[in-house]
Amino acid sequence: MILESQRHLFNIPDDVAYFNTSYLSPQLHSVRAAGEAALQQVATPWTVTPGDFFTRSEQVRGLFGGLIGAPPDGIAIVPAVSYANAIAANNLEVAPGQTILVLDEQFPSNVYPWWDKACRSNADLIVVPRPADHDWTSTILEHIDERLAIAALPNCHWTDGGLVDLVAVGKMVREAGAALVVDASQSLGALPLDVGDVQPDFLCTVGYKWMLGPYSYSYLYVGPGHRGGEPIEQGWITRKGSEDFTRLVDYETELEAGATRFDVGERSNFILTPMAEAALTQIGDWGMENIAATIARSTAEIERRMISLGLEPIPAGRRGPHMTGVYFPNGVPVDLGDRLRAAGVYASIRGDSLRLAPHLFTTEADLDRLSEVVAAG
């Protein structure tokens, strides 16, 4: 279903054309209201009950799990993708001589942990080269062999939206006896994903891009075979019986069952958690299928306009429906970023592409302003 414009739900002035959701999402009015109400509560700490340390976190866990077809006990609340990937790296085995697979120019938070893991394990980090035809899936499949231990991949390449078919890749990774770790930061929230289809060992995403929530609040899905694993910190709230504050002096060695054991300390964050809950609720109300279909109309129009200007956007079949990278025959003009900002048009230049990430707030007027600036260069 194509949704009507939802711009009225976001805090975006009329003179701003925002094509930068992949950088930082504009704030929903409901998310801001939740944060303001939360600030009011923490200003009166006598109103914060022991139950508040648990209840909202569990609601968020359930809401996020519902978006990806996962049970609540498969979800951990973490502060960042780097934290999530550290958990994954800590719980996956790599033998000397095996390989870990990443993409060329992959986001650093999904490279550094595997670089370190490879060094510590005497394994090889294999970088899949960028395909000239933008077909990441076929190129990845060509690099999967019997030496593979871990494939650490995005769903969409962060520089230009280049799409990876995680179902096909996941199947071949499993057949190789390897693990799949997914960074879905540039897709989840605007592109449907079902962990039952992909079957990742671990999947994570930030909360502040397509998830429309606050910064420093992220999510980690943990596959069934890893939910009894080792966390990277030893906190109190992830222990059995921690709901009873009167007995916290009775130290507990047993961790909570499921992915909860991987939660970050202070996961109850009384300000960020209600904001995350509001964002997840709105995404659930819209439906990710509807979000994707609606944004796809904007990216298709961007593609049409950029081609008419003699530029090279990634074709629809090779990118996510929600974002695209535009390539210039002679490289991105050095002054393009400044000209865009001067016109109130916000986008990112990543690598050799102009990255454009619209959302449900994008209007025809926004597209016109973008086209005018690009055409003038």
Q: Which long-range contacts (CB under 8 A, 24 or more apart) does 314-317 make?
A: 314/134, 314/160, 314/161, 314/162, 315/134
Cα distance between residue 63 and residue 40, in whole Å: 24
Q: What is the DSSP string of 347-358?
A: -EEETTEEEEB-
Contact 81, 206 (CB under 8 A): yes
pTM over 0.95: yes
Just give the CATH number of 7-27+287-376.
3.90.1150.10
Domain ranges within the chain, ordered by starting residue: 7-27+287-376, 32-285
Distances (CA, A) of 126 to 101, 106, 111, 114: 5, 12, 11, 10
Give kind and range of the element (H or E) at residue 299.
helix 288-308
- Give the domain 32-285 fold: Aspartate Aminotransferase; domain 2 (3.40.640)
Contact 282, 312 (CB under 8 A): no
**Burial code of 59-85, b = ≥16 C-beta within 10 A, e = fewer?**
bbbbbbbebbebbbbbbbbbbbbbbbb
Per-residue pLDDT 10s for the chain (377 aa) are 999 999 999 999 999 999 999 999 999 999 999 999 999 999 999 999 999 999 999 999 999 999 999 999 999 999 999 999 999 999 999 999 999 999 999 999 999 999 999 999 999 999 999 999 999 999 999 999 999 999 999 999 999 999 999 999 999 999 999 999 999 999 999 999 999 999 999 999 999 999 999 999 999 999 999 999 999 999 999 999 999 999 999 999 999 999 999 999 999 999 999 999 999 999 999 999 999 999 999 999 999 999 999 999 999 999 999 999 999 999 999 999 999 999 999 999 999 999 999 999 999 999 999 999 999 87
Contact 27, 11 (CB under 8 A): yes
